[in-house]
Structure 1
Amino acid sequence: MNAKLSAELNVLRELHQSIEVLREEKRGLETKLAAMSEMREKVVKLEAELEAARSETALASKSNDTSITPLSELGLAHAKVLEGYGAVAATLRQQEAVAANLDTCLQARRKLT
């Protein structure tokens, strides 16, 4: 009787150990599922934004009037900012070149004196 119960106990212990392993795997999968759900929501939102932008672009291209949509206003503002940045960056490079040239001249004069 004791041997029979010991064998049954060993089987039950192995089953319990397998159950614990499965529970741990389940926790890991639930964590991954939560992350995937968040990503799925983000994808749905992005797809909706993309579809809205596409339909706005399609409406703008079909329309022959010169009305400016908020999206196109934003694009124009962005282009203006980039143009301004380019102009300022070019001016800055010119001023740095002038400063470097003056510094070289000043160092040359100091060596002569």
Structure 2
Amino acid sequence: MTGGGYICSDITMLRHIVMFSCKDIESRDDIRNGLSILTQIPHAQKLEVAFNEKVDQLGNDIEVIVYGEFADVEALRAYKAHPLYQESIDRVRPIRDMRVAADYTVESAATTAL
């Protein structure tokens, strides 16, 4: 058990989404730039760092989003163990406010009405 949830190492295709708010809106570019370091880590099948476009009328506290796709939990663990991951944390943590992360497997996602 990790972080209050169960982690099973035999799952496949994990999506990892992390959302950040800024302590100060002027730091928004610096947060994105610091997170963009993560794109250099080889363990993700896909990794994107973007500003929140704020198209939805609610939930506009989020400024920057990281979206990643990983082959499995082990790939996500290897990504988080990479030295560039810590470098990104060191750059972003002092200037970000909230960090919210969510992970799910493609196999567990509802793709039609239940």
Q: TM-score, normalised by structure 1?
A: 0.20
Q: TM-score, normalised by structure 2?
A: 0.19
Structure 1 or 2: more helix by fraction: 1
Q: Compare CA radii of gyration and give the structure with the larger one.
A: 1
Structure 1 or 2: more strand by fraction: 2
